Amino acid sequence: MKIGTIDLGERSVLLAPMEDVTDQPFRILCKEFGADMVYTEFVSSDALVRSVQSTHRKLTISDAERPVAIQIYGRDTDAMVEAARICESASPDILDINFGCPVKKVAGKGAGAGMLRDIPKLLEITREVVRAVRIPVTVKTRLGWDNDNKIIVSLAEQLQDCGIAALSIHGRTRSQMYTGEADWSLIGEVKNNPRMVIPIIGNGDVTSAEIAQEKFNRYGVDAIMVGRASIGRPWIFREIKHFLLTGKPASSLSAREKFLILRRQIRESISRIDERRGILHIRRHLAATPLFKGIPNFRETRIAMLRTETESGLYEIFDEIEQKYASFLCEEV
C-alpha cells in the first residue's frame, strides 16, 4: 500500500490515533513491535492557531517512529488550513483529518464526527487542506452520523475527488460511539467500489491476529488500524504481523517481558510529564492490559495499583504480583 510516495507494504497494520494514548513514547513502542505507521493524538486546529503550548507539544515527532501522521480536527476552514501548515512544518510524513471522533465535546461542537452532519463543509475543509500542504492528506471518518444516515459509500467518492491520498473508515456511526459491533460490510463496499483508487483502511474491533487476517481476506482492505486493543498491549502488532506473514501464532512474550514493557511505559510517561501526571496518564494502559486478565482474587490488588501515585509504589505492586501470582502468569500469559 502506498500513501503518496510512502510505501507501507502489503497488508499494512497501523496504530490508530487515540487521545491520551498515542503519545510519542507509546508510538515508538508500537513501532518497535511492528506497526507499519503510527498516528499522533488528535490536535485541535483552534488550539494550534492560538499557540496553546500543550497542543504544540503534540507535534513533536522523531525519526524512530516514522512513517508518522499528525491528525488534526476542527470545524473552521481557515483554522484548519492554518493548522495544516503549522503541522507540515513539524515534518510529519502524512497529515490526517479527523472526521470521526464521536465524543460530545468534539462532535457536539460540529468537529470530528460532527462534520458528518454538514457534508458540504466537510468537503470544503478537505479540499482546502489538500491545497494548503505538500505532504499527503488522508481522512479518518465513520459510516455516518446514525443508522439512518450511513453515507460512507458516496462520501468516500467525494473525499477522493477532493484529493485525499487514503481513507480510513471506522465501522460504526457516530451515534453508536464505541458500542455494538463494528460493521465492516460498508467498508468492504467502499473498497470494492470500482471508482475508488486510493487505499482504504479499515478500523474497528481488530483485537487479535486472527481477526486482522479475517478482515483482510473478507473485505480486501489495503490496511487495518488497531486502536483500543493496543492499549496496555503494544505487542499486539508483533502478534498480528507474525500471523499475517506465517499463518501461525507468534511465540508468546513471557510475563516478565510484559512487565518490563509496562515499566518502560511508566518511566517514559513520567519522564515526559512528571511523576503525578505521568502515572495518571499510564493508568489507562494498566487498566486495559490483558496481563492481569483472569488473575484470581485480584480485585484489591488492581484497585491498589490504579490508586498508587508514585513510581516506586507501582513497582512494588508489580513485584508483589509477579511473586504472588507467578504460577498463574506462567500458565496464562
**What grid cell was written down for 159?**
473525499
The string over 136-163, giving b where at least 16 C-beta atoms fall within 10 Å of a residue's C-beta and e elsewhere, is bbbbbbbbbbeeeebbbbebbebbbebe
* CB contact at 8 A, 186 and 171: yes
Residue type, 29: L
In the annotation, is 30 catalytic?
no
CB burial of residue 66 (10 Å; 0-12, 13-18, 19+): middle
- Say which of 87, 101, 162, 330 is annotated catalytic: 101
Beta bridge partners of 223: 12, 201
* CB contact at 8 A, 8 and 67: yes
Residue 317 φ/ψ, nearest 5 degrees? -65, -40
Catalytic site positions: 101
